[in-house]
Amino acid sequence: MIQAFLDNPNLLLTEFNEMAKIAQSKSFITIGVELQKDEINTLELYRGDLAELKKQFVERNQEPEANLVYCIDAILRVMQYELEMLVNIKEDKMAEAWGNLANAQTILPTAIRNLPFEEKSLYNYVVKLTNYERLLFPKLYFSSVGGIIKKSECSICHQDPNLCDHLKGKLYMGELCLTLISEMELEEVSFVDNPANKHCRIMTIEHDEKTIDILTLREVEKNPTEK
């Protein structure tokens, strides 16, 4: 497979479209959980092949091709997270379900921004993930931290982000440019409706001297050390 894509990268898009079509055909709550788990495994194995393909493109110094593989892998990873979310719900693992949806919502916009062409169907996919949040989960609240960054570096060149030419959120030879923060002075913690990180959610509330899980409304047993 890898050699064929190295010789003709356009074949990769054809296969990606077929993989995505199959994965999306199984992304319904009614689909058998065993079929969804099989598709998750298929995507995981295929993404392993993509990692090797991207490595080969990097070794050949083919940056556009390496970046394309990154985007294709990211979109398939989103579909994998979507399927995992549906399986989690069926298996009564609601915290894991929310985590997988949050992962998908974080990754997809980055892939869309870095694709070398416009794919309008992906904007519909963003809406689909938003609808999952609105229809499958209760209203959640989140925390957000603010502070002064004391020390950080660019994930590409490991220099001060203010001194290098790399742009945060852009791909360079198949790698996403990030700002890695290693030291920050915390100034405040806020409660927000629309956070940058949806993993930072309020998990429980206190009601009638009981601790209640917000996702399930089940009572949560307190830690023996808590009063």
pLDDT number for residue 192: 85
Do 100 and 169 fall within a single domain? no
Q: How confident is residue 75, by pLDDT bands cut at 50, 70 and 90?
A: very high
pLDDT number for residue 151: 92
Q: 156: buried, middle or exposed (CB in 10 Å: 19+, 13-18, 0-12)?
A: buried
More confident residue, 1 or 29: 29
pLDDT number for residue 4: 72
Do 47 and 125 fall within a single domain? yes
Is 218 contained in some domain? no
Kindly tell me if the per-residue pLDDT of 8 is higher than 90. Answer: no
pLDDT digits (tens, 9 = 90+) for 87-125: 999 999 999 999 999 999 999 999 999 998 888 899 999
Average pLDDT over the chain, rounded to whole? 92
Do 126 and 153 fall within a single domain? no
Is 227 contained in some domain? no
Number of domains into which the chain is organized: 2
Full DSSP string of the chain: -HHHHHH-THHHHHHHHHHHHHHHHT-STTS-HHHHHHHHHHHHHHHHHHHHHHHHHHHTT-HHHHHHHHHHHHHHHHHHHHHHHHHHHHTT-HHHHHHHHHHHHHHHHHHHHH-SS--HHHHHHHHHHHHHHHHHS----EEEEEEEEEEEEETTT-S-TTTS---TT-EETTEE--EEEEEEEEEEEEEESS-S-TTSB--EEEETTEEEETTT--B-PPPTT--
Q: What percentage of the chain has pLDDT greater than the value 70?
A: 96
Q: How confident is residue 223, by pLDDT bands cut at 50, 70 and 90?
A: low
Is 62 contained in some domain? yes
Do 161 and 123 fall within a single domain? no
Is 221 contained in some domain? no
pLDDT number for residue 221: 81
Q: How confident is residue 224, by pLDDT bands cut at 50, 70 and 90?
A: low
What letters, b where the CB count within 10 A reaches 16 and e where it falls short, cover 91-121?
Answer: eeebeebbbbbbbbbebbbbbbebbeeeeee
Question: Of 102, 120, 136, which residue sits at a domain end?
Answer: 136
Kindly tell me if the per-residue pLDDT of 5 is higher than 80. Answer: no
Is 35 contained in some domain? yes
pTM over 0.75: yes
Question: Of 136, 166, 197, which residue sits at a domain end?
Answer: 136
pLDDT number for residue 34: 98
> Which residue range is the domain that position 77 belongs to?
2-136
More confident residue, 222 or 213: 213
pLDDT number for residue 1: 61
pLDDT digits (tens, 9 = 90+) for 194-215: 888 899 999 999 988 899 999 9
Count of positions (residues) in the chain = 227
Do 28 and 119 fall within a single domain? yes
Dig out the tokens for 69 from the structure: 């593989």
